[in-house]
Chains A and B, each alone.
Chain A
Amino acid sequence: MRALSHRCQWAATEIAEHVEEDGMRNRTVRVAVAACAAALVGTGLAACGGGSGSGQTRITIATFADFGYEDLFAEYEKAHPGVKLENRKLEFDAHHSQLATQLAGGKGAADVVAVEEGWLPKFRTSKDKFVNLAEHGAKDLAGQWLDWKWNQGVTDNGSYVLGVGTDVGSLAVCYRKDLFQQAGLPTERAEVSKLWPTWEDYARTADRFAEKKPDVKFVSAAEQIFLAMINQAGEGFFAKADDSFVADTNPKVRAAFDLSAGLAAKGRTSGVKPFSQQWTVGLKQGGFATEVCPAWALAQIAEGAGEGAKGKWDVASVPGDGGNWGGSFLMVPKQGKNIKEAAEVAKWLTAPEQQKKIFDKTGNLPSQPSVLRDPAVQGKTNEYFSGAPVGQIFAASAESLKPNYRGTQDSLVRPKFQEALLRVEQGKQQPQDALTQALTQSRAELK
């Protein structure tokens, strides 16, 4: 060491100093890596677990979007002195992947967690991490829900109740009246619905629109059309019978891909990621003439397009059959300290009276027939969307629709097809090549 030249010593001190600075440089990476490490170590992300203090029971509820719970929390606390409810909110994907980490680590999860239906099958494979709500009386309430919604939340032939349903998505198409008028298309919602009994008619309408308004895209992204069609298919990437991968042989997947990739190849879609920042900019600039609209998307479109577009949007029916897109469940992780109270909260938050209040406040569509038939729900209109009778449009279809089967690996495979459509939109690939690559990647992922 003594042989080190003076200069070298200087450099060594420099390095020692800057190794520390380097820590700053990669902080975010380190947070990610540390999170990974922590999960692997088995400590989990100790995000202040719901301990009870000063004789109060604190129940945390983790959600990802606007569930409309704030006012309801106050109501529950009033009726249950000694219980304090607390909301934790994260972005959609972050919420679900964090939950997986917390389940793996055995601590850190909220007492009640929301899980979206697309992610649910993934968690169903680790059902032993969740409380069987049947043990807390949830089974007696089964009749409250739409049959298909209830069935999505149970396993083991209905004896294991993993989650109780919050909302459902249903499907509709939102459109810009002013742009339709400029393109010489009808603007009245009944007439617009008549434009597209099928998705082929929808694609033809897109062509008609493009002739008059070439600078406006007909829809934000091809994946919106693809996912809507998959959600109407009954069976998508996986077989209902045995959960095997059937995307390469299912004609409905093929049809959905061909139609949406066709729109993409013709330049009818913009290619932005739905619900991203670019999507919001596109909406604000009036860049999209239509959007696929599950009930929960109305609020997001209204927020994205802003006050300036109020009254310019309207809601028409979706091409093809009814289908469901989205909606969530409340589940109770076993690792919680107050399982009994948490189960009560989950049951209460999904009860009919609460679903009705949530619908009124946020537009999230109830998942229970008694609420869907409620005159107040049926008669609800949405001012932003030109006073469209959203209660009727969504509630009517929610009862008749058949849900799509989701394989346990659905959330792994779906992005491959979304990326394939994006490649077509970016002009990087022809539709057939894009589909082939998506299928190859899916098979590799499932190996």
Chain B
Amino acid sequence: MFSRWDIRITPYLLIAPFFLVFGVFGLFPLLYTAWVSLHDWQLADGNQGFVGFDNYAALLADPLFYNALFNTVSLFLISTVPQLLAALGLAALLDRSLKAKTLWRAGILLPNVVSVVAVALVFTQIFDRDFGMVNWLLGLVGVDRIDWQAGVFSSHVAVSAMVMWRWTGYNALLYLAAMQSVPREQYEAAELDGASRWRAFWSITVPSIRPTILYTVVVSTIAGLQLFVEPALFDPKGTAGVGGSDRQYQTLTMYLYEKGFRVFDAGYASAIAWMLFVVVLVFALANFMVTRRSVRDS
């Protein structure tokens, strides 16, 4: 009798801590944020009264919200597309027989274990207008120095460089793991048929690791849309700034931070948080559908 009870209950007891912690630190803040977003809520002074969907209405008419949304999507595209392509190439190189294999594989993960704050500070110096290394190198080939923080595109490139630096190696390792489970016979057969390496890569490797590719796309989407530290620290004013003199690189999360912790408008910030949640949900859902279809195809 007891043993049956044990078998039935124990699994739930074992997973209960996760749900408890998730409930306290995940679900409750999520719902509470929704509640706050329906109020005029000042960070220091608390609840100032129920306003319904006023915060959302204001947000949808707020040009700064769309500016932040544009920057977020732009930064996501500029950083993710080249990053995943480069990771794919790196993985293909590492998949060949190399000397000191482990060294290379560990090596490409190295940027990922460096603190993001350190990366942001170093890259901000590398992209410095007056004494930065990039401008110095450009100067050698006769290109005028660029004020990286001033322009929309230039600032997005600089911020994306940080993201790529940190995540290319990580994604390459995921691809590598998937590539190694591709049966070698397929390559041998292709070689016998006279296929080039390039052809084999696109016709065998890429289709075989498609689930992994889609997984990295989904994860990069979620992370990319929440980008905060890199652009925030690229601003010389740090988190006190708004992402450049004209909000050139202010992401949605940075706008949330500005409203919540600079302006102290917790109600509006909560509305931004929920809009961000919806945006991520839409992107993730779209990716999920693509994933399902492509898995069925293959």
Q: Bound state CA distance, A38 and B246, in angstroms?
A: 31
Most buried by A among B130, B228, B245, B262: B245
- Could you count the A-B residue pairs with CB atoms below 8 Å apart for me: how many are there? 137
**Cβ contacts under 8 Å, A129 to chain B:** 44
Indicate which residue in B33, B124, B150, B240 contacts A93 across the interface (CB closer than 8 Å): B240
Given A29-B226, A445-B263, CB of A11 within 8 Å of CB of B211: yes
Q: Which of A91-137 contact B (CB under 8 A)?
A: 91, 93-94, 97, 100-101, 103-104, 122-123, 125-126, 129
Q: Which bucket holds chain B's interface residue count?
A: 35 or more
Give B203-228 as 1s and 0s: 1 = Cβ < 8 Å from A's Cβ atoms: 00000000110010011001100101
Q: Bound state CA distance, A28 and B231, in angstroms?
A: 12
Q: Bound state CA distance, A93 and B238, in angstroms?
A: 9
Tell me the interface secondary structure of chain B in the complex. Answer: helix
Complex contact B29–A37 (CB within 8 A): yes
- Determine the residue in chain A with the shortest Cβ distance to B35: A40
Give A26-55 as 1s and 0s: 1 = Cβ < 8 Å from B's Cβ atoms: 111100111011111100000000000000
Q: Which of B169-213 contact A (CB under 8 A)?
A: 174, 211-212
Given A41-B28, A93-B238, A423-B245, CB of A101 within 8 Å of CB of B261: yes
Complex contact A29–B229 (CB within 8 A): yes
- Determine the residue in chain A with the shortest Cβ distance to B36: A40
Q: Which of B126-181 contact A (CB under 8 A)?
A: 128-131, 147, 149-150, 167, 174
Is A276 interfacial (CB-CB < 8 Å)? yes
Complex contact A287–B228 (CB within 8 A): no
Is A2 interfacial (CB-CB < 8 Å)? no
Q: Bound state CA distance, A91 and B241, in angstroms?
A: 14
- Determine the residue in chain B with the shortest Cβ distance to A10: B211
Q: Bound state CA distance, A277 and B236, in angstroms?
A: 8
Given A41-B28, A104-B43, A415-B242, CB of A11 within 8 Å of CB of B223: no
**Cβ contacts under 8 Å, A429 to chain B:** 246
- Determine the residue in chain A with the shortest Cβ distance to B223: A25
Q: Bound state CA distance, A33 and B253, in angstroms?
A: 9
Most buried by B among A32, A273, A277: A32
**Cβ contacts under 8 Å, A15 to chain B:** 215, 218-219
Is B45 interfacial (CB-CB < 8 Å)? yes
Complex contact B43–A101 (CB within 8 A): yes
Segment at the interface with B among A158-166, A278-286, A292-300: A278-286
Q: Which bucket holds chain A's interface residue count?
A: 35 or more
Q: Bound state CA distance, A32 and B228, in angstroms?
A: 9
**Cβ contacts under 8 Å, A428 to chain B:** 150, 245-246
Segment at the interface with A among B7-15, B84-92, B96-104, B264-272: B264-272
**Cβ contacts under 8 Å, B211 to chain A:** 7-8, 10-11
Is A88 interfacial (CB-CB < 8 Å)? no
Complex contact A285–B29 (CB within 8 A): no
Q: Which of A46-102 contact B (CB under 8 A)?
A: 91, 93-94, 97, 100-101
Complex contact A37–B117 (CB within 8 A): no
Complex contact B215–A11 (CB within 8 A): yes
Is B255 interfacial (CB-CB < 8 Å)? no
Indicate which residue in A101, A281, A426 contacts B150 across the interface (CB closer than 8 Å): A426
**Cβ contacts under 8 Å, A22 to chain B:** 219, 222-223
Given A40-B36, A40-B270, A100-B44, CB of A26 within 8 Å of CB of B261: no
Complex contact B228–A422 (CB within 8 A): no
Q: Bound state CA distance, A158 and B25, in angstroms?
A: 44
Q: Bound state CA distance, A415 and B238, in angstroms?
A: 13
Give B25-39 as 1s and 0s: 1 = Cβ < 8 Å from A's Cβ atoms: 100110011001000
**Cβ contacts under 8 Å, A423 to chain B:** 245-246
Complex contact A276–B237 (CB within 8 A): yes
Given A40-B266, A273-B236, A276-B237, CB of A28 within 8 Å of CB of B229: yes
**Cβ contacts under 8 Å, B257 to chain A:** 32, 36
Is A427 interfacial (CB-CB < 8 Å)? yes
Complex contact A104–B263 (CB within 8 A): no
Give B228-259 as 1s and 0s: 1 = Cβ < 8 Å from A's Cβ atoms: 11000000111110100110000001001100
- Determine the residue in chain B with the shortest Cβ distance to A447: B58
**Cβ contacts under 8 Å, A287 to chain B:** 130
Complex contact B219–A18 (CB within 8 A): yes
**Cβ contacts under 8 Å, B215 to chain A:** 11, 14-15, 18
Q: Bound state CA distance, A273 and B128, in angstroms?
A: 12
Indicate which residue in A91, A103, A278 contacts B128 across the interface (CB closer than 8 Å): A278
Complex contact B236–A426 (CB within 8 A): no
Q: Bound state CA distance, A104 and B269, in angstroms?
A: 15
Q: Bound state CA distance, A123 and B29, in angstroms?
A: 26
Is A174 interfacial (CB-CB < 8 Å)? no
Q: Give chain A nearest CB distance to B160 CB in angstroms.
A: 16
Given A29-B229, A40-B29, A97-B261, CB of A422 within 8 Å of CB of B245: yes
23 A–B pairs (Cβ distance < 8 Å), ordered by A = A7-B211, A7-B295, A11-B211, A18-B215, A26-B226, A28-B228, A29-B229, A29-B253, A32-B253, A33-B253, A40-B29, A100-B261, A100-B264, A104-B266, A123-B44, A272-B236, A273-B237, A281-B131, A419-B242, A423-B246, A426-B149, A427-B150, A445-B263
Closest 8 CB pairs of A and B: A37-B29, A273-B236, A422-B245, A426-B150, A93-B240, A276-B236, A11-B211, A29-B228
Residues of chain B whose beta carbon lies under 8 Å from any beta carbon of chain A: 25, 28-29, 32-33, 36, 43-46, 116-117, 121, 124-125, 128-131, 147, 149-150, 167, 174, 211-212, 215, 218-219, 222-223, 226, 228-229, 236-240, 242, 245-246, 253, 256-257, 260-264, 266, 269-270, 273, 295
Given contacts A281-B131, A287-B130, 20 further A-B contacts (CB under 8 A): A11-B212, A14-B215, A15-B215, A15-B219, A28-B116, A32-B253, A33-B253, A34-B29, A36-B257, A36-B260, A91-B238, A93-B238, A104-B45, A104-B266, A122-B264, A277-B121, A277-B125, A423-B245, A427-B147, A428-B246
